[in-house]
Structure 1
Amino acid sequence: MSYIDGFVIAVPTANRQAFIDHAQHFDALFLELGALRVMECWGDDVPDGQLTDFRRAVQATADETVAFSWVEWPDKATRDAGMKKMLEDPRMDPNTPGNPPMPFDGKRMIFGGFQPVVEVSAPQA
């Protein structure tokens, strides 16, 4: 069964295209290092909750949009090896010439690795 890394971040709404450009640059590295799929999602219907919610989790302000992303790996071993290589890769450093700057405050990003326990798919026609 696959392994999933999930990410939630607050992105200044004005930086939407910069976020997309940043994702396209760095998501290619995930695929190069063994990921099966990367999804980058821009908040469209992110309601305020009574106790907590996505916006509060990342301290999003009124001029920010919550982005939700995940990376699907074939297994945890591939993820662990890929993430180690990614963190050591100079293409990850936003200070390296040619790399896009980070269009959000990385300190407010929440992330984690998840082992799928249930998977349901629609029947194929």
Structure 2
Amino acid sequence: MSNYIDGFVFPLPQIYVEEYKQVAEKVAEIWKEYGAIDYFEFVGDDMVLEGVKSFMETMGSNPGEVIVFGWVVFPSKEIRDLANEKVPMDPRMTELVAPLINPDRLIFDASRMAYGGFRPIVQTKID
């Protein structure tokens, strides 16, 4: 069990989901160039379970926002650490992300994102 993942969750205005998706698909390819073996992003659909705090509540989402939950899989923490150094410096990332963080039309607000690196404790694959 040597894989390592970076996980993240954040609110996103519903009206920008398709625009965000187009950027995320390109971003995923860049992460793979730097060593990621899988890249996943999902949009919240069934967000309420009685007796537990929802992602929407935890993230302080506003009306008109959805929750994006994602993770990037790396073959090791070392490869992940190198990717985390190199990806932000890739000029394609700056170009792709700039329209999402424009203060006049803020689509992605990193200050509202929860993020962390995770080592495995259980890893099973159903064939």
Q: Normalising to structure 1: TM-score of the pair?
A: 0.86
Q: Which amino acid aligns with 1:77?
A: E
Residues 42-95 of structure 1: per-residue CA shift (max 9 Å, x gap): 1111116656331123221111000101000000000000110012222222xx
Residue 120 of structure 1 is matched in structure 2 by 124
Matches within 5 A, 1:49-60: 52-60=53-61
1:111 matched to 2:115? The reply is yes
Shift of residue 36, structure 1, vs aligned partner: 0.1
Residue 68 of structure 1 is matched in structure 2 by 69
Q: Distance in 2 between matches of 1:11 and 1:49?
A: 23
Identity of aligned residues (%): 33
Unaligned stretches of 5+ in structure 2? 101-106
Q: Distance in 1 between matches of 2:12 and 2:50?
A: 19
Runs of 4+ in 1 over 6 A off after TM superposition: none
Q: Is the contact between residue 35 and residue 72 of structure 1 (CA under 8 Å) also seen in structure 2?
A: yes
Unaligned stretches of 5+ in structure 1? none
Q: Distance in 2 between matches of 1:9 and 1:67?
A: 5
Shift of residue 17, structure 1, vs aligned partner: 0.3
Matches within 5 A, 1:91-106: 91-93=92-94, 96=95, 99-100=96-97, 101-102=99-100, 103-106=107-110
Q: Give the CA RMSD over aligned residues.
A: 1.6
How many residues matched?
119
Richer in helix (by share): 2
